[in-house]
Structures are given as C-alpha cells and as structure tokens.
Amino acid sequence: MASTPASRHLSREKLAGWVPHFADLEKHSPSFNTLTATVQTLRDALSHGHLRSTQLVEEYQRSICLHNEWLGAVYQLSPGAIDRACEMDPLRQEGKILGPMHGIPILVKGNIATSEALGLETNAGAVALTGSKPNEAPIIGRLLERGAIVIGTTTLSELGYHKGTGIRCGWSAAAGQARSAYVRGGLDWDDSVGGHSVMIMVIHRKVIWLNIWQNPLGSSSGSCIAVSAGLAPIALGIETIGSLITPSVRDSLFTIKPTHGLVNPANIVPVTVRYDTAGPIGKTTKDIADLMDVLVDHVETHVLEGGYASAMVSDWTDIRVGTLDPEIWRLSDALVKPVPEATKQILDDTRSAYIKIKGLAKNYHDNVPLPPLSAFEYEGKNSAQSLMTADLKENMDSYLGSLKEGKVKSLQELVQWNSAHKEEALTTEYPNQELLARGLSFSDSTGTREKLVAHNDKVASKFNEIMTTYELDVIIAPGDCMLSEYAAAGDQ
C-alpha cells in the first residue's frame, strides 16, 4: 500500500496529555494476553484472585504505549486510572461488587463528555473543542457508579464524521489518522474514503494475508480499533447512522445499537440527538450485554430479570429469520472501492452463512423485499442523511452553549474558528468543513424538516411491515452495508 507522505501529521497520532512511563516496555512479560482477554475472562480472574484491577490497568496502559503511536486509536489516558483501580480492588476483596464492570478498564469515545476528575478532555477530534469543559455525560456517571475504570478516550472521525466531505474515516484534525489493526502497511492515501476490500490470499494452504478491509470505517473507529488490538477489553462508542455497526464489523467485534432513548444521550457532542445513541463494543456478546446492563437505567427501562445476557440463546431453533440480498445490500462503489476477487469471495461467504442459518433457524425467508436505500431519496437527497444537516445547528448550539468553558459556544463560532485557524483545523489533508457549513446555512422556512421526517417515517415503516408480514424476529444483512439507516429512521 502507498506510504504516508511527509506532509501527513504522524506526530499527532501520539497520546495527548499524560503518558505513563515504563522503562521495561519492550521487555516486559505481561500477566495476561490483552489481545484475547474478554471482560468475562478478566472478571473470572479477578474473582479468583489470579489478577488485580491494578494489573489490568497497567497491562492495558503498556499495550497502548507500545502500539498506539502506529494505530492512533487512543487519544488520551486518564492519570487517575491506577488510583481508581486501587479503590476497586479492596471493595472486591470485601465482597462489595458494584456491577458487572467492577474493576474492568474501559475506553470511551472522544465525543462523550467525561468529568474533570478523570483528567480527560472531550473534543470529538476538533481542535476548536480542545480545552473545553463540558458537563459530565450521565453515562460516564453510570460507569463510575457501577465500578468501571475509565482508562482513556479514543479517537474518532472528527465530529462524528460530520465535519467535511471526502474525509477518510478515522481521521480528525486533533488526532490524525487511525489505522485498522488488521492491515499491514497502513493506509493507502490515494484510496477511497471508505477504503477497499482486500482478498484473503492462500498459497500452498498457508494464509499469508488475513484481512478483508483496510479502512476502519464509521466514526467510532478508535474505540473499535482499540478493542480489536488489545488496548482495552471493551469500549463505548456512539451510533448516529452506522457509527457503531460498520467499524465493529470491520474489526471483527460485537456491538449493539440500542433503541433510541434506552441510553441517556445528554452531554455527548452531537450530530443529531434524533439518532445519536451510545452503545457497547466488545469481543463477545456476553461482554456487550453486560455493559448494556450498566448503561441502561433499570428504573426507567424494563429489563429482563438477569439482565440483557439472559436474552442470549445457544441455538437458533426458536428464531425466525429473514435475509437481504448481499448483491443489493452493500456499500456503494463510491465509498468503498471494489476489488472484484474480494467482492466475489464476500458474496460467496455471505451466501454460505445464509445457508447455514437456514438449516438452524425455526423459519427462514431468503431475500425479503425490504425497499433499498434509494427509497430514502427525497428531492434528490437521502432524507435520513439530510435530517442530520437539518438538526445540526440546533443540537450543536445546545451542546456548545452549555460548556462551562470553551473557545466556541455555537456552530457559527466553530465554523469561524476553524476558518481562522486553518493550519490546525483545516489541514492540508482535508481542508474543508462543508458539512458544518451546510448545517449552519440550513433554513426551515418552508417546513423542510417536517417533510423529511414524514418521508423518513414512511420509508422506515416498511421495515416493520416486512417483519410482520413474514413473521420475523430478525432481518440479517451483510455487516458492511447501510441497513443502519432503517435502524435510525425507524427508531423514533
């Protein structure tokens, strides 16, 4: 793949702020394998006294210091994480377990407002928001109340991938470019913004290249890269449209896009609160179910006895499945440059998976007729995407206006600040803020927003119609497609 030109800001991919020092970083023998450890295995080790939370924090800090300069997945570390672990270990010994994440390190996406006590800042990848002091997001409070150890914040596609057009996923002016842990050689800077598919090559029965995608995709890119690379056992991301789902798929992880409203969205740097929702990213379904138990207020929301993990099943015999045609449900060629050999392999493997599911499920319907994403088109544009532009100014003004301290207090001030500080904010890689400008200039004088909502609702209703008509429990599609637009549009 093409090397990174000298003009790329590699130095910005190092950790911001406090960095722990380990004299034996290269020679250290880890007390456990951060690459394969899950929340469940770590919790078991803690419960049996084989590990302490202080050891967990130190090992993940070491892993981050060793690998993050290349990956660019973690933005900042909390200087108080070890002290926090020192508080959690005695409580465990006394039998006072605060929750399923007690003593477990976690990384949170850099657009979720953390408390000043954690020593972390929230800038969503935007230089203009560096140094701002927001009010703590309620979900951070829930993590801390239930015993989790927030060890740092992750990088992301700047402002939830809603700054400018043509910007590569995983890039921000504040942190530079994040890279998939699965790809050798780094990113091809001449590639499409969503990357391209890469074949699995086999020579004499030996796999010499084992990756399908070379771009992290989605705005929760840093959180997903970090978990896949063993920089944390679990992480928190944000979904607007596909921002949890697509990078999790690319990094072979599990995630849940929670129903809108299940998780408190307050004090998160927004794209649109209409869609934005936080969700877990992990290596197993059990891990993400357990984190959901922490994120969701059980008083406000009905949760099955035994928590979300109690809904997990070991087989498909009681699940009614519908699938979508993988040739139709895929990312556009404009976003992801196709490689014919890889495309064929992906289609073949998807169909093979469908055949296997068909043999396991209670009922199965192939290629259910859910309208394609073109159905969202309204006056020449995608209505689900257009609503992000329509809501941006109002939502961003609300967040920025609530800051206790900050360089900018409105979307207009943000756009102006970026223009006045082009070297920092509108760099040579991506010198535009077109999406911010569109949000700033949006006018609802003709009732456009209401019309967009009505169109969204009409299209989204087709999803429930398909579910009802075919008596389905689930609709399955290739992970690297935008079925998430239906999830966003219909989740109101």
Average pLDDT over residues 173-187: 83
H/E segment holding residue 63: helix 53-71
Per-residue pLDDT tens digits for 125-173: 999 999 999 999 999 999 999 999 999 999 999 999 999 999 989 999 9
H/E segment holding residue 104: none
**pLDDT of res. 314:** 82
Task: Indicate whether 16 pLDDT > 90.
Answer: yes
**pLDDT of res. 429:** 87
Q: 410 vs 171, 418, 435, CA distance in Å?
A: 23, 12, 15
Average pLDDT over residues 94-110: 98
In this prediction, residue 191 has a pLDDT band, given cuts at 50, 70 and 90, of: low
Task: Indicate whether 352 pLDDT > 90.
Answer: yes
Task: Indicate whether 462 pLDDT > 90.
Answer: yes
Of the candidates 333, 305, 323, 237, which has an alpha carbon nearest to the alpha carbon of residue 276?
237
On whether the CB atoms of residues 173 and 126 are closer than 8 A, the answer is: yes
Q: What are phi and psi of 364, to 5 degrees?
A: -145, 135
Average pLDDT over residues 101-110: 98
Residue 298 or 171, more confident: 171
Task: Indicate whether 4 pLDDT > 60.
Answer: no
On whether the CB atoms of residues 191 and 3 are closer than 8 A, the answer is: no
Location of structure tokens 């689900």 = 384
In this prediction, residue 340 has a pLDDT band, given cuts at 50, 70 and 90, of: confident
Location of structure tokens 């008083």 = 299
The overall average pLDDT reported for the chain is: 90
Average pLDDT over residues 349-362: 95
Task: Indicate whether 423 pLDDT > 90.
Answer: yes
Task: Indicate whether 198 pLDDT > 80.
Answer: no
Per-residue pLDDT tens digits for 236-295: 999 999 999 999 988 999 999 999 889 999 999 999 999 999 999 999 999 999 999 999
Task: Indicate whether 207 pLDDT > 70.
Answer: no
**pLDDT of res. 211:** 41
**pLDDT of res. 472:** 96
Tell me whether strands 206-209 and 201-203 are parallel, antiparallel or unpaired: antiparallel
For residues 236 and 209, give the distance between their C-alpha atoms in angstroms, rounded to a whole number.
29
In this prediction, residue 5 has a pLDDT band, given cuts at 50, 70 and 90, of: very low
On whether the CB atoms of residues 412 and 390 are closer than 8 A, the answer is: no
3-state DSSP assignment of residue 246: helix
**pLDDT of res. 363:** 96
Average pLDDT over residues 382-391: 95
Of the candidates 230, 224, 289, which has an alpha carbon nearest to the alpha carbon of residue 256?
289
For the chain, domain boundaries: 10-311
In this prediction, residue 492 has a pLDDT band, given cuts at 50, 70 and 90, of: low
| Lowest mean pLDDT segment, chosen from 74-78, 195-199, 413-417 | 195-199
Task: Indicate whether 196 pLDDT > 90.
Answer: no
Task: Compute how many other C-beta atoms are within 10 angstroms of the C-beta atom of residue 404.
Answer: 9
In this prediction, residue 35 has a pLDDT band, given cuts at 50, 70 and 90, of: very high
The share of the chain scoring above pLDDT 90, in percent, equals 77
Q: What are phi and psi of 474, to 5 degrees?
A: -150, 145
Q: Could you write out the three-class secondary structure of 423-452?
A: HHHCCCCCCCCHHHHHHHHCCCCCCHHHHH
Task: Indicate whether 375 pLDDT > 70.
Answer: yes
For residues 139 and 315, give the distance between their C-alpha atoms in angstroms, rounded to a whole number.
32
Fold of 10-311: Amidase signature (AS) enzymes (3.90.1300)
**pLDDT of res. 433:** 98
Q: What pTM was estimated for this model as a whole? A: 0.92
Task: Indicate whether 26 pLDDT > 90.
Answer: no
Task: Indicate whether 202 pLDDT > 50.
Answer: no
Average pLDDT over residues 374-387: 94
